[in-house]
């Protein structure tokens, strides 16, 4: 058994009640690859609406959580509250939260630990800026972000983590890492897993690519041996998201 292909849709801060219903209906009624795991992440306000209307064979993710189970943390949502509501996944460490909201590696690691402890799967985002790419420090940056998580969780936790490599310079810009660039970093992440976690984690952990993924480029990217799926932004709001879900079909 190989790693099951995984496609996540990050709606970001987009959507309305009617719009989310339309997107969910399109995904639920489309003919999709049964060998691909699909998780969609609407804004927090629409999590339960999405869970109610989405086909049960697909999962729903929050776009973020806080690292405490409850308490006086106005505006935050905990992993235990997600689990209580039938939401089994969360995104963590997205570059927009790292750069715009100044979340550091340790805070993201703490949130990852909290999610895993509460039985919520994590789509853990990592990636470099254009400046870091041009300096040749991509792998250093990505493994630093992953090391922070590895210090807080045990080896078994990686069974419940999907790593999403998202070069910041390719998110929402229309620029896409070449298949060779993406594969190179994915291979480096898998090598890091082997050396820092375990050979089992390296073999089984899914590493997905994000950064202007579209129905035009997804099939070529999917052919690379260490690319196990995609985290899709803007394209997840469009009918073409179904084509990306089906990118790994032969």
pLDDT tens-digit map of 135-176: 999 999 999 999 999 999 999 999 999 999 999 988 777 777
Phi then psi dihedrals of residue 173, to 5 deg: -100, -15
Q: Please state, as a whole number, how many other Cβ atoms lie within 10 Å of the Cβ of residue 18.
A: 8
Q: Which two tokens stand for residue 200?
A: 């089992």
pLDDT reported for residue 171: 78
Residue 190, domain member (yes or no) = yes
DSSP E strand stretches across the chain: 5-10, 36-41, 59-62, 89-92, 121-126, 161-165, 207-210, 229-232
Note if the pTM is more than 0.95: yes
pLDDT reported for residue 250: 63
Residue 178, domain member (yes or no) = yes
Low-confidence ranges of the chain (pLDDT < 70): 1, 250
Residue 73, domain member (yes or no) = no
Q: Which residue in 94, 96, 103, 186 is the catalytic one?
A: 94
Name 36's bridge partners. 5
Instruction: Report the alpha-carbon distance of residue 178 to residue 163 in Å, rounded.
Output: 19
pLDDT reported for residue 209: 96
Q: Which two tokens stand for residue 214?
A: 């579209």
Residue 13, domain member (yes or no) = yes
The answer to whether 166 is a known catalytic residue is yes
Domain span at residue 120 reads 5-68+78-245
Q: Which residue in 103, 128, 166, 186 is the catalytic one?
A: 166
Candidates 63, 76, 80, 68; CA nearest to 120 is: 80
Measured on CA atoms in the order 92, 98, 102, 106, is the torsion positive or negative? positive
61-to-38, 86, 102, 217 alpha-carbon distances in Å: 10, 10, 22, 24
Q: Please state, as a whole number, how many other Cβ atoms lie within 10 Å of the Cβ of residue 210.
A: 25
Residue 250, domain member (yes or no) = no
Residue 141, domain member (yes or no) = yes
pLDDT reported for residue 2: 87
The answer to whether 186 is a known catalytic residue is no
pLDDT reported for residue 175: 77
**Number of folded domains in the chain?**
1
Question: What's the angle, vertex CA 200, arms to CA 202 and CA 126, rounded to 5?
Answer: 30
pLDDT reported for residue 1: 56
164: CATH? 3.20.20.70
């Amino acid at each position: 058994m190989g790693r099951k292909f995984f496609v996540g849709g990050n709606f970001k801060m987009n959507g309305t009640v009617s719009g989310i219903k339309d997107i969910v209906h399109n995904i639920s009624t489309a003919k999709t690859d049964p060998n691909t795991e699909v998780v969609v992440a609407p804004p927090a306000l629409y999590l339960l609406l999405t869970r109610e209307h989405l086909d049960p064979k697909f999962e729903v993710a929050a776009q973020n959580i806080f690292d405490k189970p409850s308490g006086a943390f106005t505006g935050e949502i905990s992993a235990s509250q997600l689990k209580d509501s039938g939401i089994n996944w969360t995104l963590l460490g997205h570059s927009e939260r790292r750069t715009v909201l100044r979340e550091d590696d340790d805070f993201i690691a703490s949130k990852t630990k909290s999610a895993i402890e509460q039985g919520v799967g994590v789509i853990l985002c990592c990636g470099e800026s254009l400046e870091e790419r041009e300096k040749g420090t991509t792998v250093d940056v990505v493994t630093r972000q992953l090391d922070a998580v590895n210090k807080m969780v045990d080896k078994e936790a990686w069974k419940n983590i999907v790593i999403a490599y998202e070069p910041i310079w390719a998110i929402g810009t229309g620029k896409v890492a070449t298949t060779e660039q993406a594969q190179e970093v994915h291979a480096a992440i898998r090598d890091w897993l082997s050396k820092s976690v375990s050979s089992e984690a390296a073999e089984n952990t899914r590493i997905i690519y994000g950064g202007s993924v579209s129905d035009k480029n997804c099939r070529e990217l999917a052919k690379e041996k260490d690319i196990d799926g995609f985290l899709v932004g803007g394209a997840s709001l469009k009918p073409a998201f179904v084509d990306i879900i089906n990118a790994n079909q032969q």
